[in-house]
Structure 1
């Protein structure tokens, strides 16, 4: 696998997002999750991303059970489970969450520690100062921010260098191209793209409306409810046809498009099973391929917002 950088650490260009280990998209179990992690490592994936909120610690605990020390590991804090869901970025809370995460992960140090959502009434400079202390103490290798605006990145980076920014980015979610990806490149910050496969819409086969209410959050996500859901499947169908004609897997081609948008971009697709991970075979796209994909799936093609109003709390907007 080709390599890219998070800070000064070289990692596989495609990372692994472990949210689904916490049951966010349906039931799973420890054995299946551990086998999936083994398959990821065998495929050359060397960056694993989780968070304390994923299954309320379940995802972190599974990664701790796995016990690999040769992977670059990231976790997050800042979202406080509800209802209602809130955020906290104060130093005592961040330190408490970090110690709890380290225990679950079976580590004394985490390579990358994100603030999952920003608390608006705490100056970003104060937050960056807290994260700088953790770096200086050797608790974390670097810090990151998630779902932020370019202005927030620049302010934080001026206080203490940011290692990575993690925002949603895929063929059907292009907002980061309106300033954030460029800001990361200018500052030497890795851009980590979560949900690069559109929460399964760019999976092996077309999705069906079988999301479990109250468990799978896609059940109430605007892009996955009718009439948007059927419209989106129809819009993506020609892309699926192109992949079949070229001998690409649909997930592999979607990841290749993300990777082609900048050499500082690292997508972190997720899955519960090793079987689905086998579809992440990334082809080399030439200029003609990228042009054809852009024609089939132009920016803004998606029907519906990426989040509902109830999911937008503490997500920074900038356009």
Structure 2
């Protein structure tokens, strides 16, 4: 697999997001998740991403049971489970969460530790100072920020260098191209793209509106409720036809497009099973292919917001 820079290390250009191990898209089990991790490593994936709230610790526990020490591992803290949803960036809480994550992951060091959401009441310079202490103490290799504005990145980076910024980015979520991806490039910060396959909409086959109520969060996500859901399926259909015509796998083409947007971008698609990993080999896109994909799926084509209002509360908006 192609390698890309993430902090001081080279990692596979495509990582694995393990949110689904916690059951947010539907039931899963430890045996299936461990098999998925093994298959991902066998395919050259070396960067694995989790968070303390994915299944309220379940995803981290599975990675701890897996026990691979030769991987690059990222986890996150800051979101306090609700309702109502809250965010904390104070040093005591960050330290408490880090120790809890280390126990679940069965490690004494995290390669990359993200602040999952920023707490506006705490200056980002103070937050960066806390993370710098954790780096100096050897608890973490570097720190990251998620769903922030370019101005926040620059302020934090000036206090202590940021390793990575993580935000949603895909063919149907382009906001980071309006300044954040460029700011990361300018500062030498990796941009980690989560949900690069549009939460399954750019997967192997068109989704059906059969999400499990109360389990699969897409059941109430604006882009997956009617009439948006049907409109989005229709909008993506020509892209699927293009992939079939060119002999590309849909997921591979979508990941190829993300990778082509910058050599500092690392997408982290997620899956509950090893079966989907074979679809992720990036399609060999040239400049003409990129132009054609952008014509079929132009910026802003998606119907509906990417999150409900309650989930947007601590996401920084800058455009």
Compute the TM-score of the two structures, normalised by the length of structure 1: 0.99
Are 2:30 and 1:30 equivalent residues in the alignment? yes
Query: Deviation per CA, 1:46-72, whole angstroms, max 9, x where unpaired?
Result: 000000000000000000000011110
Query: Deviation per CA, 1:192-226, whole angstroms, max 9, x where unpaired?
Result: 00000000000100000111111111111110000
Q: Separation in 1 of the partners of 2:39 and 2:242? A: 28
Are 2:248 and 1:248 equivalent residues in the alignment? yes
Report deviation, 1:263.
0.2
Query: Deviation per CA, 1:261-280, whole angstroms, max 9, x where unpaired?
Result: 00000000000000011111
Task: State the partner residue of 2:159.
Answer: 159
Q: How does 1:136-147 map to 2 (within 5 A)?
A: 136-147=136-147
Report deviation, 1:15.
0.4
Q: How does 1:1-319 map to 2 (within 5 A)?
A: 1-319=1-319
Report deviation, 1:147.
0.5
Query: Deviation per CA, 1:233-281, whole angstroms, max 9, x where unpaired?
Result: 0000000011111111101100000000000000000000000111112
Report deviation, 1:308.
1.4
Secondary structure at the aligned position of 2:267 is classed as strand
Q: Separation in 2 of the partners of 1:90 and 1:243? A: 47
Q: Separation in 1 of the partners of 2:68 and 2:144? A: 22
Report deviation, 1:5.
0.6
Q: Separation in 2 of the partners of 1:71 and 1:245? A: 37
Q: Separation in 1 of the partners of 2:313 and 2:138? A: 32
Q: Separation in 1 of the partners of 2:91 and 2:154? A: 21
Secondary structure at the aligned position of 2:161 is classed as coil
Aligned length in residues = 319
Report deviation, 1:287.
0.7
Gaps of 5+ in 1: none
| RMSD, aligned α-carbons | 0.5
Report deviation, 1:311.
1.4
Query: Deviation per CA, 1:105-141, whole angstroms, max 9, x where unpaired?
Result: 0100000000000000000000000000000000000
Q: Separation in 1 of the partners of 2:151 and 2:114? A: 17
Secondary structure at the aligned position of 2:254 is classed as helix
Structure 1 residue runs of 4 or more that deviate by more than 4 Å after TM superposition: none
Secondary structure at the aligned position of 1:278 is classed as helix
Secondary structure at the aligned position of 2:165 is classed as strand
Q: Separation in 2 of the partners of 1:228 and 1:188? A: 37
Report deviation, 1:93.
0.3
Compute the TM-score of the two structures, normalised by the length of structure 2: 0.99
Q: Separation in 2 of the partners of 1:202 and 1:115? A: 28
Q: Separation in 1 of the partners of 2:117 and 2:230? A: 31
Q: Separation in 1 of the partners of 2:104 and 2:244? A: 42
Query: Deviation per CA, 1:139-167, whole angstroms, max 9, x where unpaired?
Result: 00000000000000000000000000000
Report deviation, 1:283.
1.6
Secondary structure at the aligned position of 1:196 is classed as coil
